[in-house]
Amino acid sequence: MISYGKQTIDQGDIDAVVEILKGDWLTQGPVVETFEDDLGKYFGAKHVCAVSSGTAALHLAGLALGWQPGDIVITTPLTFLATANCIVYAGATPDFVDIDSATYTIDPNLVEKKVKAYRTVGQNVKAIIGVDYAGHPCDWKALREIANKYELQLVNDNCHSLGAKYFGDKQYAVKYADLITQSYHPVKHLTTGEGGAVLTNNSDLDEKIRRLRTHGMTKDENILEENDGPWYYEMHEVGYNYRITDFQCALGSSQLKNLNNFVERRCEIAKRYDDSFSDIDYLKIPKTKNTIEHSYHLYPLQIDFDKLKKNKSEFFKKMKESSINLQVHYNPIHLQPYYRKNYGFKKGEFPVAERFYRNEVSLPIYPNLSKDNVEMVANSILEIIST
Ligand SMILES: Cc1ncc(COP(=O)(O)O)c(C=O)c1O
């Protein structure tokens, strides 16, 4: 069965992990720091804190930024649950802004409109979380301008766009957002099994995130209220065990060496899909703004099932019969029962994201998906929609 995403592991990755398993450190040790340094160099970040998942990274980002009850944090409805859940974890109030119909990322004009609307009723938005959906960077210049104008915090949930370029720059993320979160789940551009990181150029935020990664513990002499000796630590705030292990980080550093090749291969597959579908009625390929280079974590194809008079579930079933397991990214978060019940969101509130959801299918895309399999996926889709 061909799935929409999958890790690519080579002998170098296996050797790197085995070497650590033979050593002294199994949980957080020196290789975590090496991985953090490697990530810092690749993404141009002064500080990187590797953690146990992308969800943990988002949770710690919200806590480090001091979100609390009463704060309003805006994000896109077109993302994985974790992006919005981290707002809830902090006790803050989530709200959404619809996506831009060309890039599928949060629409900055609508963000500003919403921020202003809150102001007119005496409420201030605390932060915006942009998501570089599918591997297409948001309009970060516009989001940064809004963040500066209205004194908002800006987070980049960067899980989908490792290796993408914004204005020719692969290191764009830390140049615009205050905190960047990444995930190294197996379907992502590089993997550590489970894993993630928070990247930033702000040393205060980084120090806080490091403390919260390990129960809020500190041995920093500038913070300690007392100091009984070299064993002594204190806790001034509640943290978590969000540590990542040395063997996971050995895998991460090894994978990072292949990231450029991984992105290149994803782009080749995307080009093949583009060529197959761009001239076909009722199909819409993902567009790329001329200011960016996509890194194709996903290949979201839109199929106008209504106009085709086809049923999406039926289409999925037929693809599965051809051994192709598609996915949909995402069921808009405001439509989740939890968000509807607790925050009163309704169908129709974010129409662009909702229409996108109805039409979207995520096609298989990962570095070691063979040329023949890419052909097979493309041909199966064309056949099913034409019969
Ligand atoms: C946009 C986005 N944010 C956050 C996450 C959460 O990452 P993790 O699965 O590593 O917790 C994911 C992963 O699926 C994601 O796609």
DSSP 278-344: TTSTTEEPPP--TTEE---S-EEEEE-HHHHT--HHHHHHHHHHTTEE-B-S---GGGSHHHHHHH-
Q: Which residues line ligand 1 (CB under 6 A)?
A: 53-55, 79-80, 82-83, 131, 157, 159-160, 183, 185, 196
pTM of the prediction?
A: 0.98
Dump the DSSP string for 219-257.
--TTT-S---STT--EESS---B----HHHHHHHHHHHH
Best of 136, 185, 298 for a ligand 1 pocket test (most atoms within 8 Å of beta carbon): 185
pLDDT-derived band at 387 (thresholds 50, 70, 90) equals confident
pLDDT-derived band at 264 (thresholds 50, 70, 90) equals very high
Q: Which of ligand 1's atoms lies nearest the C-alpha of 82?
A: 4
Residues 6+ apart with CB under 8 A from 206: 46, 47, 49, 198, 200
Side chain identity at residue 298, one-letter code? L
Average pLDDT score over residue span 101-118: 98
The half-sphere exposure of 345 on its side-chain side, counting CA atoms within 13 A, is 24
pLDDT in tens, 80-98: 999 999 999 999 999 999 9
Best of 55, 138, 187 for a ligand 1 pocket test (most atoms within 8 Å of beta carbon): 55
**Which residue, by CA, sits nearest to atom 16 of ligand 1?**
80
**Which residue, by CA, sits nearest to atom 12 of ligand 1?**
80
CA of 119 to the centre of ligand 1 (A): 31
What is the Cα–Cα distance from 228 to 116, expressed in whole angstroms? Answer: 52
Q: How many CB atoms lie within 10 A of CB 348?
A: 8
pLDDT in tens, 168-196: 999 999 999 999 999 999 999 999 999 99
Average pLDDT score over residue span 90-116: 98
What is the Cα–Cα distance from 17 to 168, expressed in whole angstroms? Answer: 33
Q: Please identify which residue in the block is written with the tokens 């929409």.
A: 4
Average pLDDT score over residue span 23-37: 96
What is the Cα–Cα distance from 189 to 6, expressed in whole angstroms? Answer: 9
**Which residue, by CA, sits nearest to atom 7 of ligand 1?**
54
Task: With H, G, I as helix, E, B as strand and everything else as coil, classify residue 200.
Answer: strand
Average pLDDT score over residue span 108-121: 98
